[in-house]
Structure 1
Amino acid sequence: MSTASKLDRNLTLEAVRVTEAGAIASFDWIGMGNEKQADQAAVDAMRNALNGLAIRGTVVIGEGERDEAPMLYIGEDVGAGHKNGTGPEVDIALDPLEGTTITAKAAPGSLSVMALSEKGMLLNSPDVYMDKIAVGGGLPEGVVDLDNPVSENLASLADAKGCAIADLTVCVLDRPRHSEIIKECRAAGARIQLIPDGDIAGVIATTDPETAVDIYIGTGGAPEGVLAAAALRCVGGQMQGRLVFRNADEKERAHRIGITDLARKYSMEEMAAGDVIFTATGVTSGGMLRGVRRQHGVIITDSVVMRSKTGTIRRIEGRRRIAS
């Protein structure tokens, strides 16, 4: 028997205010060349906004561990409900500014991003790397697999889509570590779309026919992987991820939060289960969302909010009068 979600539907719209706050706070740092200040502004604003929500929230994906991040660290309690024991218990994954370098350079596609779930439903991942593969919805289950060669995944995907491999576009982060993936994709005949940063948007792009992205492959941050999985849970798609550990310290951090199988391949549902709310607000304009703008004394934001339980996707334009 299924159980009702503990997440109030009003929380879906309340969550947007949190990412809007992060995006607006980042606005003054667009193009200023200071990644740390842009990120800190977003962190401070999101924390204040979260503490105004009637929830008992715990950050499971945040800015790092407590000794590394003064705010929004993994394990931090947020939400007004902690003071009086009211409101739903929720796990929170967030990236106050996905694309700090993008923002500092005023390049396209930076976002403020957050996912909420019922307690215990989001993968509590350390801040390490993750191998990822993702495709959009409407495809046979298991059409691609993280353990298969690139050429095999492309052939399977092309067959499922009824097209040639030459018609496929693969989204890949522009990093030296991906040189072999890029080489294999091009050798198989697929096109490559290189992105400078922001692999959450890269994964979500596989679900939007207008982007022409068919598959995302590559290694990026594990926190971003969990957030991307939360988004795909809402809009439909398939994703797999495997944590990548570069040294003994990263492995020890994983053990401390209860991860014992370091080679485990996670499905989308294992990274983000139950009722999930995902929201993102554009900081700089990109293919997914428009960035923050100021026009005639008004600050304008463009956001998307999704919920897995209902399958709803809402686009929200926010307008706020700038205080004089």
Structure 2
Amino acid sequence: MGSVSNLKIDLVEVCEAAARACAPFVGSGQKDEGDGLAVDAMRSRINKVKMNGTIVIGEGAKDEAPALYDGEKVGTGEGIGVDIAVDPIEGTNLFAKDMPGSIVTLAAAPAGSMYQPGSCFYMDKQVYPKAARGKIDPEAPIADRLKQLAAALGKDVAELKIFILDKPRHHAMMKEVYAAGAKIRLATDGDVNGAIQAVLNMGSDALFGIGGTPEGIVTACAARAMGAEMFGRMAPQKDFEIELCKKEGIDTTRILTRDELITSDDCLFIATGLTSGAYVRHVKTGHDTYGKFMTTDTVVLDGGIGNIRHVQTTIHV
């Protein structure tokens, strides 16, 4: 049997191709145009990868998205079975405004190992670094969780910085975090970016809050690859979504563990920077004696090996 870990260079090139394709639209205000270019480039390159891949988390239901939709078969059809989760542009508003934290991201794991959320589009997430693994009670009040996290990291609560999306649904949570004495790093979009900061303990000590379920599955791969901690609970936000979840028997009270969201250590998380952030830089363009070039910066979290790899690639275009 092969390993998903062996596909990492090919899958890095999938993310790099998407980043190069959409990079000219960074800061243009045209997020849909950029996203379309990223999707097309990602799909073209991923179908050259020698694997029997299935998009488990993609651009949407088959009748809504023409490419990289949930259930789409990708790769050459040869080799090992692979579950794929993609977000061709994570943080589209950040991308459109050239604000920090927009990335191309992809996660991969053996076939059947990624949680399939059905019609629940939102997830309430808690993400913590490796030092906190097994030391957090996910159902405890926020103040208690912050004390547990501080003890695990050897910090005072006042030294903690929690990444939270700046959304009305989080205002009560933010008040609790502040009341407990911790700090908050706010962002308008991009909770995968915030979660990876927590996983790597680079810029944030944890992520709290409700964001997209697809992003939650991608994050779970990163957390498992690095031995970090994560919990998720399905959190439908709109009436039609609540009804769909009821019809599908989705338990919105149950907290899912990291290892329920992704059941294999043989998993990959890959992110290529579109705008600069805590752990990857933006796509750079320039000219030299050979002509125009583009340089991408990518981070790979490899659960099969348990390491972090940074890949910088320059090609002439």
One of 291, 299, 308 as aligned partner of 2:303: 308
Structure 2 partner of 1:204? 196
Tell me the matched-pair count. 311
- Are residues 1:143 and 2:131 paired? no
Whichever residue aligns with residue 30 of structure 2, its letter is N
- Are residues 1:289 and 2:285 paired? no
- Are residues 1:250 and 2:241 paired? yes
Whichever residue aligns with residue 235 of structure 2, its letter is V
Whichever residue aligns with residue 139 of structure 1, its letter is A
8 Å CA contact 1:6, 1:118 repeated in 2: no
TM-score, with structure 2 as normaliser: 0.93
Deviation at 1:210, TM superposition (A): 4.2
- Are residues 1:178 and 2:180 paired? no
Query: Kindly tell me: are residues 209 and 263 of structure 1, through their superposed partners in 2, closer, same or farther at Cα, counting changes over 3 Å?
Result: closer
Q: Alignment identity in percent?
A: 39
1:280-306 C-alpha deviation (Å, 9 max, x unpaired):
100111112001110211100000112
One of 71, 74, 80 as aligned partner of 1:88: 80
8 Å CA contact 1:173, 1:218 repeated in 2: yes
Query: Kindly tell me: are residues 92 and 7 of structure 1, through their superposed partners in 2, closer, same or farther at Cα, counting changes over 3 Å?
Result: same
Structure 2 partner of 1:276? 267
Structure 1 partner of 2:217? 226
SS in 2 for 1:230: helix
In 1, distance between residues paired with 2:153 and 2:275? 32
1:216-265 C-alpha deviation (Å, 9 max, x unpaired):
11111010011011011112210000111234532565578x66434331
8 Å CA contact 2:30, 2:96 repeated in 1: yes
- Mapping of residues 1-324 of structure 1, within 5 Å: 6-7=2-3, 9-81=5-77, 86-125=78-117, 126=119, 128-145=121-138, 147-211=139-203, 213-247=204-238, 249-251=240-242, 253-254=244-245, 260-274=250-264, 275-296=266-287, 297-322=292-317
Query: What's the Cα RMSD here?
Result: 1.8
SS in 2 for 1:116: strand
Alignment gaps of 5+ in structure 2:
none
8 Å CA contact 2:120, 2:235 repeated in 1: no
Deviation at 1:155, TM superposition (A): 1.5
TM-score, with structure 1 as normaliser: 0.91
SS in 1 for 2:268: strand
In 2, distance between residues paired with 1:50 and 1:265? 33
8 Å CA contact 1:144, 1:157 repeated in 2: no
In 2, distance between residues paired with 1:107 and 1:56? 36
In 1, distance between residues paired with 2:83 and 2:63? 20
SS in 2 for 1:138: helix
In 1, distance between residues paired with 2:199 and 2:256? 20
In 1, distance between residues paired with 2:82 and 2:255? 25
1:268-322 C-alpha deviation (Å, 9 max, x unpaired):
1111121111111001111120011102111000001122121021100011011
Query: Kindly tell me: are residues 140 and 92 of structure 1, through their superposed partners in 2, closer, same or farther at Cα, counting changes over 3 Å?
Result: closer
